[in-house]
Amino acid sequence: MTDKKDEKINYDIIIVGGGPAGLCAAMYSGRGMLDALVIERGLPGGELLNTELIEDYPGFESILGRDLAEKMADHAKKFGANIVTDTVDAIERKEDGEFEVRTQLNKVYHAPTVIITAGGTPIKLGVPGEAEYAGRGVSYCAVCDGAFFKGDTIAVIGGGDAALEEAGYLTRYAEKVYLIHRRDEFRGSALLQQRAFNNPKIEVIRSKVVEAIEGGPSGTTNLKLKDTKTGEMSDLPVTGVFIFIGFTPNSGLIKEHFEHDEGGYIVTDWNMMTSIPGLFAAGDLRVQLTRQITTAVGDATTAVIAVEKYLAERKESKAASPLGTA
């Protein structure tokens, strides 16, 4: 009798991550009659669930992130998507070319192909007080926590699209939002910069970095700022700090050397295959020029079609082998 914790379940393809790329891959897998499993650690949708408004996805001039996530999940399920809630611990390719995917719930899944769409995790500032006041003033998700700061004065840290967009979103709750960037110039799109800079509730602070986050029993109360040009220190009283300085790709799940860039983003070929045969990557953890919902679903579409061809070629190779193995 097999111990439940060592149970092995076989699929044609395992999709790690249930964000836009993962859900699109699941939908195309179903259309291609592939037996697919999606493993997502939370609710289907990924970062869509942390985004209030989507205005750059074709066909939807404006849609709530959670609503688009629900539509994508329903579409995938219509074509038979099997979505389980669990957290993947490791992806490993065995000697026979099959992949073994292990999870925190002690499940072991097998498939000849894997598409990793696991996105990334927010980058921390790494300053004193950040960990101490996490959940007590320090946040990495405006949609999740913005409502807790009604009428407050808060700060948003970062200079990219996420920081600009979330600063604007937070003005619906906060009385005042400081937008703090370490440089003079912002990296975000011109449209988002214009919106943020013209918002009367947003005050932009350039060329300063957070040196420490201070507080007390009630939570965050103050930021220690350092001028990057003069070195001068200053205080900024705030009750909330929202940090949007980027994220680290969740590529560490792969337990084999693979080609990647200096940031850990996965290098793929034009079929979305990584340097490991049978392992494909789609979405935000892949090396590419931009990371948008549209690029994520495009990656996933290509990856699934490539998987179909890979599986067909693998089957032919096995059939042609005298021993029936690849």
Residues involved in catalysis:
141, 144-145
CA distance 24 to 296: 9
**317 φ, ψ (degrees, to nearest 5):** -65, -40
How many Å apart are CA 100 and CA 97, to the nearest integer? 10
Map 213-232 to HEC letters: EEEECCEEEEEEEEECCCCC
Residue type (1 letter), 217: P
Cβ(266)–Cβ(250) below 8 Å: no
Residue type, 222: N
Contact residues for 100 (Cβ-Cβ < 8 A; gap 6+): 90, 91, 92, 93, 94, 108, 109, 110
Token pair, residue 3, equals 């111990």
- 127 near 210, Cβ under 8 Å? yes
Amino acid identity, residue 154?
I
| DSSP3 helix / strand / coil % (the chain, rounded to 5) | 30, 30, 40
CA distance 265 to 45: 21
**Largest pairwise CA distance in the chain:** 75
* Whole-angstrom distance, CA of residue 310 vs CA of residue 211: 50
